[in-house]
């Protein structure tokens, strides 16, 4: 599962979230920060309330919470979502080859950017892809923006 601190770093680097069915998110800096929520059409849905994007809760699981502003949540992207984000950003830079290796109980995401071979290691695939994505997003910004 995506680490909350890495999710925060990705959000702060500019990773945008358009909530979709099956997405995971957390509510940091609250009594709910240790819980993971899932968008699903039966109980948790993205909606617009008074002109603001919100996450609404219906049914018994979160009965005491009607809604929360989306900006108060943090998206916890899945491995597939991280891989898709990384692939799109690498492709925009002309990089079409990357891989994910597993050895010695660690995952390593590898790719080459501007002739430099890069490797990002983590205990899980999501962490390795997230670290690679964070690097690419940071390198997309100019020196003054970093």
Q: Where are the domains of the chain?
A: 18-75, 79-140
Task: Report how far residue 21's alpha carbon sits from residue 117's, in angstroms, rounded to the nearest whole number.
Answer: 36
pLDDT score for 146: 44
Q: How is residue 20 written in tokens?
A: 């979709």
Query: What string of pLDDT tens digits covers the 146 residues of the chain?
Result: 788 999 999 999 999 999 999 999 999 988 888 889 888 876 788 889 899 999 888 765 545 567 789 999 999 999 999 999 999 999 999 999 999 999 999 999 999 998 899 999 999 999 999 999 999 999 877 554 44
Nearest residue to 131 via CA among 45, 2, 22: 2
pTM value > 0.85: no
What class is the 79-140 domain? alpha beta
Residue 21 near residue 41 (C-beta atoms within 8 A): yes
DSSP lists the bridge partners of residue 52 as 49
**Residue-wise burial string across 14-52, b where 16 or more C-beta atoms lie within 10 A, e elsewhere:** ebebebeeebbbbbbeeeeeeeebebeeeebbbeeeeee
């Amino acid at each position: 599962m995506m680490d909350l601190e890495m999710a925060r770093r990705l959000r702060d680097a500019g990773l945008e979230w358009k909530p979709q069915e099956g997405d995971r998110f957390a509510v940091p800096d609250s009594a709910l920060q240790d819980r993971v929520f899932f968008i699903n059409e039966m109980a948790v849905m993205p909606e617009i309330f008074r002109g603001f994007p919100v996450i609404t809760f219906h049914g018994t699981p979160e009965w005491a919470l009607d809604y929360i502003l989306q900006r108060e949540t943090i998206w916890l992207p899945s491995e597939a979502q991280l891989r898709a984000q990384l692939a799109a950003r690498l492709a925009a830079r002309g990089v079409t080859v990357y891989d994910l290796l597993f050895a010695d109980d660690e995952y390593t995401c590898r790719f080459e950017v501007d002739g430099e071979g890069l490797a990002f290691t983590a205990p899980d695939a999501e962490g390795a892809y997230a670290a690679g994505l964070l690097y690419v997003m940071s390198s997309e910004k100019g020196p003054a923006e970093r």
